[in-house]
Amino acid sequence: MRNRYDEVVPTITKILEQKRRVNRRNIYLDGAFAFGVNINVVARFRLREGMSLTAKQVSEIASGEVRQECLDHAFRLLQQRLHSRSELSRKLARREYGPTIIEGVLNDLERLGYVDDARFAKTRALSAAQNKHHGRRRAFVELIKSGVTDATARLATQDVYEAHDSMAAARQLAEKKTPSLRRLDPVTARRRLVGMLQRRGYTYDEIRPVIDEVLGHHDVDDA
């Protein structure tokens, strides 16, 4: 019967750069190709020629390679735009990375400052206010959908919209829409404008004075 002292421990005999992927290395054990890994995995595990590897170490290196792939994919997503932690988690899960690996990668990204829900929320709220001309209510709802906490969404929208002229933005939208409503009767035109601004996330208190200014005061209930 063999015991643990009889285990054959292979040795790294060669580490070669891959021809088409310069950030990857081919690892040879006892003269035969064994596996390919990212150069960061080589550095993390301090792989070098002449180093012996136990079965446990080989397994850890394999897990490290999967983790590196997950991290690389997360960086590609972040290069496209900012993401909340929840958004990144969902997208990485679709690639079938395990929850433990995803959690570790997200923790590292937070520690390094690449994932920051507070910054993400404020950036999105600012874009909603300035570029999309959304009202505070819709900006808040969109942030909740992105996975940030209620408190984070409220703080971000509060910071942005207290410094933003929502009335001016609503007026601009209403004035842009008004020419297409000229053939409608006043009541229908008014209700169309109210509906459009409500979908944009403006409150009735913000909408009514804007509608009165653009279309003129009307006694018919706008709701």
Query: The CATH number of the domain where 99 resides is what?
Result: 1.10.10
State whether 48 and 81 are in the same domain.
no
User: 206 in a domain, yes or no?
Assistant: yes
Please identify which residue in the block is written with the tokens 């993400």: 120
CA–CA dist 223, 217 (Å, integer): 15
Q: Give the other-Cβ count within 10 Å of 211's Cβ.
A: 23
pLDDT of residue 2: 43
pLDDT of residue 206: 86
Work out the mean pLDDT of the chain and round it to a whole number: 89
Q: 55-80 and 99-111 are packed helices; what angle lies between their axes, rounded to 10 degrees?
A: 60
State whether 170 and 152 are in the same domain.
no
State whether 101 and 122 are in the same domain.
no
State whether 172 and 199 are in the same domain.
yes
Q: 166-177 and 204-215 are packed helices; what angle lies between their axes, rounded to 10 degrees?
A: 50
State whether 182 and 211 are in the same domain.
yes
User: 39 in a domain, yes or no?
Assistant: yes
State whether 12 and 49 are in the same domain.
yes
User: 58 in a domain, yes or no?
Assistant: no
The phi and psi torsions of 221 (rounded to 5 degrees) equal -60, 130
Q: Name the more confident of 13 and 171.
A: 13
User: 73 in a domain, yes or no?
Assistant: yes
User: 126 in a domain, yes or no?
Assistant: yes
User: 223 in a domain, yes or no?
Assistant: no
State whether 110 and 122 are in the same domain.
no
User: 135 in a domain, yes or no?
Assistant: yes
pLDDT of residue 118: 97
State whether 182 and 151 are in the same domain.
no
User: 74 in a domain, yes or no?
Assistant: yes
Q: 204-215 and 186-199 are packed helices; what angle lies between their axes, rounded to 10 degrees?
A: 140
Percentage of residues in the chain with pLDDT exceeding 70?
A: 94
- Whole domain around residue 209: which residue ranges? 166-215
Check pLDDT > 80 for residue 5: no
Indicate the range of 28-42, 77-91, 184-198 predicted with least confidence. Answer: 184-198
Strands (E), the chain: 12-17, 24-29, 32-38
Q: Give the other-Cβ count within 10 Å of 200's Cβ.
A: 20
Instruction: Please count the structural domains in the chain.
Output: 4
Check pLDDT > 60 for residue 86: yes
Model confidence at 160, in pLDDT bands (50, 70, 90)?
very high
pLDDT digits (tens, 9 = 90+) for 123-132: 999 999 999 9
